[in-house]
Structures are given as structure tokens and as C-alpha cells.
Amino acid sequence: MAKNFKYNRLDKNNAAVLLVDHQSGLTNLVKDFSPDDFKNNVLALADSAKYFNLPTILTTSFEDGPNGPLVPEIKAMFPDAPYIARPGQINAWDNDDFVQAVKATGKKQLLIAGIVTEVCVAFPALSALEEGFEVFVVTDASGTFNQTTRDAAWSRMEAAGAQLMSWFGVACELHRDWRNDVEGLATIFSNYLPAYRCLIQSYEAMLEAHKART
């Protein structure tokens, strides 16, 4: 397997983001991350998508029922993005409007995150893989009942060819080179990763001290 491996990097010119069923009711089911950490990760992915200007598609399932509406912060971040409120289809790929929106982006790399991992993420991920898309599952922006069900979902998707990544890994692979922009990406990292904020503050203090000496 390693002999035939080809490293297909995420390409900001060929990637789209699918945010699937990040709904207020469904967030109560997420137990493999703390509520604060999970929301932080989802918004970090969303902010990264905006930073890299990636086409982003929002979808919800049965939002008039117990699943509830889309998390408002996500809707506010993408006021002009395609928004597909599925009337009942569990697999987003079973909704023609959603599939058309995905294909209309013209992108072949799909970054998928959602609630819950083994259903709302896995089902469209497997469907997209079947149709020839490259699928990257953003693991820490996807949540479910517990680690057992999460690990089973990850294994199923990975066996089918999906790649598992964190939002931080996604951002770094899209960026490629710090010389492309330090301040912009570092600001995102600082906003969502307290440890990274400390790193940047340390770096800025070092720069100030260097200026003072010169």
C-alpha cells in the first residue's frame, strides 16, 4: 500500500466545505467532545473556510422537528451560502438540491463535518466517495454519542477511502507556506486555540524586545 501511495494535498482552489446538520437540537447529542470544545472546533473550521474563500454549503435535516435550527453563528458567518433545509432525508446525498449545490462548486475535494458522525457525516461521505470525490472528514468538527460510535464511523469511512483530519491540519495543509500570510492565519489559530494565542503573544513580545534593542 505504501509503495503506491500518492499524497494528494488539500488544494484551496479545488476544495469545498459541507457543514451537515450542525443544529441546535442535535448538538445535545454530542458527548465525544465537551460542548465548548466542539462549538469552538466547528466555528474554527467555518472561519478557516471563510479565510481560504472555500465554497461552503449548509444543510439541515427536519429542522422543524426535534433536530432544531442551524446553529445561528454558522448561518451568520455564511449569509450567502447555499442553505438546503432537507425535509426529511437522513443522508444529505439523497437530497437533489444538496447534491446539485455540491456539484455546482466544481470542486472535487470535499471537507465534511457534521452531527452525528456515523450518520450525518458518514452517509454523505460514503455517497460522495462512490461518485469519485476526494473526501476529507473533519473529525473534531463532527460529533456523536460516544467514542465507540465515533471510532466505528471513522473506521467505516476510512476503509472506504475518506481521509480523517482535524480543522487545524486542514488549515495548515491549505495554507502550505507561512510566507503566504502570517498574521491572517495566526489570528484564526489564536482565536480558537488558547495555547496558540500564548505562542503568538510570546512571539510578539520577542519582536518588541528586538525592536527596543535596535
Nearest to 168 by CA among 56, 7, 10, 5: 10
Global pTM reads 0.94
Q: Which helix (H) or strand (E) holds 15?
A: strand 15-20
Tens of pLDDT along the chain (214 residues)?
567 889 999 999 999 999 999 999 999 999 999 999 999 999 999 999 999 999 999 999 999 999 999 999 999 999 999 999 999 999 999 999 999 999 999 999 999 999 999 999 999 999 999 999 999 999 999 999 999 999 999 999 999 999 999 999 999 999 999 999 988 999 999 999 988 888 788 877 887 887 888 7
Give 95's DSSP letter.
-
Name residue, grid cell 502550505: 176
Q: Which residues are catalytic?
A: 120
Question: What sign does the dihedral 145-153-119-10 (CA atoms) show?
Answer: positive
Q: Are 17 and 45 in contact (CB under 8 A)?
A: yes
